[in-house]
Amino acid sequence: MICIGKTHSSFLKEGIGIYLDRLKHYTKLEYLELPDVPSKGLLADVLKQKEGEIILKNIRNDDYLLLLDEKGEEYSSREFSVLLQKRMNSGVKQLVLVIGGAFGFSKEVYQRADGKISFSRMTFSHEMIRLLLVEQLYRGYTILKGEGYHHD
């Protein structure tokens, strides 16, 4: 999981930490917060380009890249767990989920991506979506294991 910028809110850091700890029982998850690009005076396209370069430096050729994007496909929690299972069964070495900066992704990142997912048509802060993503990853793995965390 790759994010642009640090998580500043203590309550979000705590929640992310809780779910990262829970996920250790199901999968090896690397949570990477890449440094913010200094944005003062930069146009949005230039900022996206610089962020994109940093993101792509952290992606391997054989990674399966999913972007969290407002125009991505929406999944129920159960459907998301099926997506996780399909990726695990496909022989992909690493699934990489990326949360970009405030203006989205550069065209190069979009071109490299294998897919896009959206949590909602609503907009969430880039810090908030981190917590939602790790919780949904945890929920997805508990669904796959048939554990009682998720209720339909």
Q: Where are the alpha helices (H) located in 5-125, listed in sequence order?
A: 10-23, 44-57, 77-89, 107-112
Give the homologous superfamily in CATH for domain 2-144: SPOUT methyltransferase, trefoil knot domain (3.40.1280.10)
Number of neighbouring beta carbons within 10 Å of residue 57: 8
Q: How confident is the model at residue 10 (pLDDT cuts 50, 70, 90)?
A: very high
- Dump pLDDT digits (tens) for 12-65: 999 999 999 999 999 999 999 998 888 778 888 989 999 999 999 999 999 999
* Domain map (residue ranges) of the chain: 2-144
Q: How high is the mean pLDDT of the chain? A: 93
**Cα distances (Å, whole numbers) of residue 87 to 12, 41, 69:** 28, 40, 19
Indicate whether 92 pLDDT > 80: no
pLDDT, position 60: 94
Q: Is 44 helix (H, G, I), strand (E, B) or coil?
A: helix
Residue with tokens 């129920």: 76
